[in-house]
């Protein structure tokens, strides 16, 4: 079957909206008609070479849709079922999985190396992060689909597949924010907005949002931020001034920039915790001196996919949505069509907007 998709022909090249040929689902595979797909900064990192990906590829890893066909041996879903795509399925056998750290599964992205579809001239296409959600339909391994939560529209449920799992998990699993703490969130994109909501749900006493764009203040405050600062060379000092000279208990960095990682570290109190969620390039070097590491006794940690187990955490997130604590619609700054994805990439690169949602 032929469907339209956003194809990355080569690293650094612009996306091309074109027709591709999808095969019928083979053994253990599922065909999904997309309802919506979020445009995530990780897709931009794949397209510009910050993260490596086999090309040509169809990007998009945050999506939800309806199963329209299943291959031999697939029993966990049936045609007509609503599903959320899981771009990082765990194998259950590697060392990380044996430790319960499924977000670090050694084989999570092995599917991205496969050819899953073809262009009109027969050129093989790879699924950028396993699921190739920037297309009207996709074919994925059965391990890449999770049952969509009841009572949540598929368009909004798409956001659960990456932005919310990552932002919520960074706060609750990695940073372990506690009630009454003060928290700074650096970067108010889709993941940052999800993180702010997660901090609010955790019961933080003060939430300071930091971004380069003044127009994001309204989004941040709607998500739960009590303060908003424009990123600058004095950000950490401003945060200390807001917190009586102490600094925040926790900083969550969602931008993946050396300057913001350093500012997040500097903004936390002695003994504070900094969790880095943003994906930065190899050229983004962050330096510390030995004395400050000893003196400040802070913790700096990375975070992959919010240190989340999608099968475990998706029902928890759905519970927050149904209870009105988590507002998925507030994460979306614009609803676009497939042809608008290249423009959404340009906005992300320029630091504009929050989460663009492709609605099919």
**Helices 235-242, 258-267: inter-axial angle, 10-degree rounding:** 30
Round to whole Å and give the CA distance between 68 and 145. Answer: 13
pLDDT in tens, 149-171: 999 999 999 999 999 999 999 99
d(C-alpha 146, C-alpha 310), whole Å: 8
pLDDT for the residue 299: 97
Q: Where are the domains of the chain?
A: 2-161+327-359, 164-304
Confidence of residue 353 (pLDDT cuts 50, 70, 90): low
- Output the six-digit token pair for 265: 């570290």
Q: Residue 351 above 80 pLDDT?
A: no
HSE toward the beta carbon, residue 223, CA cutoff 13 A: 35
The pTM is what?
A: 0.94
Question: Domain spanning 164-304: which superfamily?
Answer: NAD(P)-binding Rossmann-like Domain (3.40.50.720)
Of the chain, the percentage scoring pLDDT greater than 90 comes to 92
Question: What is the arithmetic mean of pLDDT over 172-180?
Answer: 98
* pLDDT above 90 (res 27): yes
Using one digit for the tens of pLDDT, what is the confidence trace for 109-149? Answer: 999 999 999 999 999 999 999 999 999 999 999 999 999 99
Give me the residues paired with residue 334 across strands.
356
Closest CA relative to residue 278, chosen from 249, 302, 308, 248: 302
pLDDT at residue 127 in the model: 97
Mean pLDDT, residues 25-54 taken together: 93
Question: What's the confidence (pLDDT) of residue 1?
Answer: 86
Q: How confident is the model at residue 229 (pLDDT cuts 50, 70, 90)?
A: very high
pLDDT tens, position by position, 60-119: 999 999 999 999 999 999 999 999 999 999 999 999 999 999 999 999 999 999 999 999
Q: What is the mean pLDDT of residues 295-303?
A: 97
Candidate from 31-35, 262-266, 271-275, 340-344 with smallest mean pLDDT = 340-344
The angle formed by the CA atoms of residues 39, 188 and 169, to the nearest 5 degrees, is 75
What's the CATH fold of domain 2-161+327-359?
A: Quinone Oxidoreductase; Chain A, domain 1 (3.90.180)
Report residue 13's pLDDT band, with 50, 70 and 90 as the boundaries: very high
């Amino acid at each position: 079957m032929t469907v339209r998709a956003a194809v990355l022909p080569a690293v650094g090249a612009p996306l091309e909206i074109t027709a591709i040929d999808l095969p019928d689902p083979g053994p253990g595979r599922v065909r999904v008609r997309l309802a919506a797909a979020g445009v995530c900064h990780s897709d931009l990192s794949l397209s510009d070479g910050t993260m490596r990906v086999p090309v040509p590829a169809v990007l998009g890893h945050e999506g939800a849709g309806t199963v329209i066909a299943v291959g031999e041996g697939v029993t966990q879903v049936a045609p007509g079922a609503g599903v959320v795509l899981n771009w990082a399925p765990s194998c259950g056998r590697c060392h990380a999985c044996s430790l319960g750290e499924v977000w670090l599964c050694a084989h999570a992205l092995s599917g991205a190396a496969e050819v899953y579809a073809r262009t009109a001239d027969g050129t093989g296409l790879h699924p950028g992060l396993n699921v190739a959600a920037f297309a009207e339909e996709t074919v994925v391994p059965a391990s890449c689909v999770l049952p969509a939560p009841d009572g949540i529209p598929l368009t909004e449920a798409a956001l659960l597949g990456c932005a919310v799992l990552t932002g919520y998990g960074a706060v609750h699993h990695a940073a372990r924010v506690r009630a009454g703490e003060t928290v700074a969130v650096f970067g108010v994109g889709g993941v940052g907005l999800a993180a702010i909501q997660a901090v609010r749900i955790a019961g933080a006493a003060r939430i300071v949002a930091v971004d380069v764009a003044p127009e994001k203040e309204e989004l941040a405050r709607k998500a739960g931020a009590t303060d908003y600062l424009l990123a600058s060379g004095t950000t950490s000092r401003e945060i200390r001034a807001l917190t009586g000279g102490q600094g925040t208990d926790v900083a969550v960095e969602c931008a993946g920039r050396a300057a913001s990682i350093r500012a997040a570290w500097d903004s936390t109190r002695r003994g504070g915790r900094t969790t880095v969620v943003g994906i930065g390039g190899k050229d983004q070097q962050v330096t510390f001196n030995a004395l400050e590491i000893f003196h400040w006794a802070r913790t700096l940690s990375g975070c992959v996919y919010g240190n989340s187990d999608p099968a475990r955490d998706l029902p928890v997130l759905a519970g927050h949505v149904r209870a009105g604590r988590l507002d998925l619609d507030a994460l979306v700054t614009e609803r676009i069509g497939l042809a608008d994805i290249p423009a959404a990439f340009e906005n992300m690169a320029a630091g504009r907007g929050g989460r663009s949602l492709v609605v099919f």
